[in-house]
Structure 1
Amino acid sequence: MTDPGSNRARLPGSPLPDVASADGGFAVVEMFTSQGCSSCPPAEEVLTEIERDARAQGQPVFALGFHVDYWDDLGWPDRFADAAYTARQEAYARAFGSGRLYTPQMVVNGTVEFVGSDRRRAATAIASALTSATTTPFTLSVQDYAGGAGAGQRVVLGFETERPSERAVLNVAIVERGLESEVARGENAGRTLRQDNVVRAFTSLGLDAERGQVELEAPPDLDPRQATLVGYVQNKGDRAIVAAAAVDLSAVAG
C-alpha cells in the first residue's frame, strides 16, 4: 500500500473543472471480501444493491470492494486480492480497537463497521451518513486518460478541496462492475461469482494542498465502460471520511 506520508499531491498548472462533487451528506461504503470466503457472495450482493439503488436515485453513495489476500492460501487465490487491501483492513482494526480481521466486513465513512451481509445495518448506517452534511467541499475530475480494454491504462485525476487537515489523506480508487470468475477450489468451489464495485487500483496521498493531481495505473483488462473513479478524503487519526466524489470513466473513455 502506498504510504500516505511518502507521496504528496502535485500542484497542477490550471484550475480544475467541477466534474463530480459531494457537497451534502454522502456514504463511502468499503467492504473487505474474498472469493475464497463462502460468506462473502451474499455480502457482495448487498454491495451491488447499494450501488445500483444509489445510482438509480442519484444519491452520493460510493461502493468499494477490497479483496484481501489472507484467504489465498486456503485453496483459492483471489485474482483481485492485494496485500495492500489487507493492510487497509488491519488499519481499521487498530482504529476500531478490535485487532480482528474478518470477511465480509463493511465499513461506512471510516467509522462504522459490521458484517457485510447485514442489510439492515447497512441501510441504517448509509441513511445516517446521507443526513450528515459534510464541511469539506471536494471535487474530482479526469484530466487525462490513455488506453483501453486490453491495453495499458493510465488515468490522471484532478481534485480540488478547501482547508485540508494536516493529517488528511486522499484515497483514490478505480472500481469495476460486471466481473465474473469461475472458482475451482476453496469454499466457493464450482461457483461462478459475479462481482461489482471491485477495487482494481488504489492509492493514498498526503493531502497538503487545496488542489492537485494523482495518477493511477489501471490493469490491462479493465473495461473502462464499467469503471468508476472514486476519491475520498480521510482523517489519518480516527479514520473518519470527511468528503467524497466520483466520476464514471466511461464519460471520458468514449
Structure 2
Amino acid sequence: MTEPARSGSSAGSADGGFAVVELFTSQGCNSCPPAEEALTDIEQDARQRGEPVFALGFHVDYWDYLGWPDRFADAAYSARQDAYARAFGLGGLYTPQMVVNGSVEFVGSDRGKATSAIVAALASVATTPLELSLDAGAGAHRVAVDYRTGPPPEKAVLNVAVVQRGLVSEIARGENAGRTLRQDNVVRAFTSVGLDADRGRVEVEVPPDLDHRQASVVGYVQHDGARAIVGAAAVDLQPA
C-alpha cells in the first residue's frame, strides 16, 4: 500500500510550554486595529525566535449591523467567544478580546498583559503533546491534517484552524470607514472534533481564495468544559 504524500512537519508542544493566542476582533470595530497589529507582532516575533506561540484572529459577526459585513466573520466565532465569556463569568462580549491558552483573557490591545500571559504560558509544560502532518494530496479546497497526541484528557477536543497572513481590506462603512486594514493570522477555516483516540485525521474545507503560500494550520487540544488548552502545534501549508 502506497503511503500518502506528506507536506510539512509540525512545530509545537512536544516538550515544553506553548501559547495559543486567540483574538476576537472585527473590521467594524475601530478599537480593533491596534489589537490586530499586536497579534501580528506577536506572531512575527515568535517566528523569529522559534517559539511555539500560535496566533489566531477570530472575526466575529455581531459588528456587521453597523453597515460593514466583515468578510472574514462567522457566527461560529461569535459563539466561540460567547463560550469563553460564560467560562470566565463575563457579563457579555467585547472586542478586541485576547484569550491565552483558554485560561486568561484581557483587552486585546493591552500589549503588557499579552506579553505577561505569553511568558507565563511558555514557562508551563504541555500535558498533551501534539504533532501534526499534512496530506499534500487532499486538493486545493481541502486540508487533511493527521494528528498524534499524548493521552488526551477526558472530554477533550482538537481544534484545527487554517490561518492566513497578509490580507488587505478596504473598509467602506462602519467605524473604520475609509481605512485600509492589513490583517494577519486571520482564521479562514475552523473545526473541532472530539478526541477519543491519540491519533487520527481531520479534514477542513478552506475558502477558494485562500493563499496557501501565506497560510498555516494550527491545532490545539482543549478541555471541552474548562476551556484550558493543554497542547498545540502548527504547520505551514507550503513550507519555506
TM-score calculated relative to the size of structure 1: 0.89
- For residues 53 and 201 of structure 2, the distance between their equivalents in structure 1, rounded to whole angstroms, comes to 23
Of 24, 36, 41 in structure 2, the residue corresponding to residue 32 of structure 1 is 24
Say whether residues 1:242 and 2:233 are aligned partners.
no
TM-score calculated relative to the size of structure 2: 0.94
Q: Is the 8 A contact 2:8 2:237 kept in 1?
A: no
SS in structure 2 at match of 1:164: coil
Partner of 1:46: 38
Partner of 1:9: none
Partner of 1:61: 53
Partner of 2:81: 89
Q: Is the 8 A contact 2:99 2:106 kept in 1?
A: yes
Partner of 2:9: 19
Partner of 2:98: 106
Q: Across the two proteins, how many residue pairs are aligned to each other?
A: 235
Q: Is the 8 A contact 1:18 1:139 kept in 2?
A: no
Q: Which amino acid aligns with 2:54?
A: F
For structure 1, the residue ranges without an aligned partner over 5 or more in a row are 1-12
Q: Is the 8 A contact 1:170 1:233 kept in 2?
A: yes
Identity of aligned residues (%): 71
SS in structure 1 at match of 2:136: strand
Partner of 1:204: 192
Partner of 1:7: none
Say whether residues 1:123 and 2:125 are aligned partners.
no
Deviation of 1:18 (Å):
9.1
For structure 2, the residue ranges without an aligned partner over 5 or more in a row are none
SS in structure 2 at match of 1:231: strand
Q: Is the 8 A contact 2:8 2:134 kept in 1?
A: no
Deviation of 1:146 (Å):
4.2
Q: Is the 8 A contact 2:190 2:204 kept in 1?
A: yes
Deviation of 1:62 (Å):
0.2
Deviation of 1:38 (Å):
0.1
Q: Is the 8 A contact 1:64 1:197 kept in 2?
A: yes
Of 175, 180, 184 in structure 1, the residue corresponding to residue 163 of structure 2 is 175
Q: Is the 8 A contact 1:90 1:99 kept in 2?
A: no
Partner of 2:210: 222
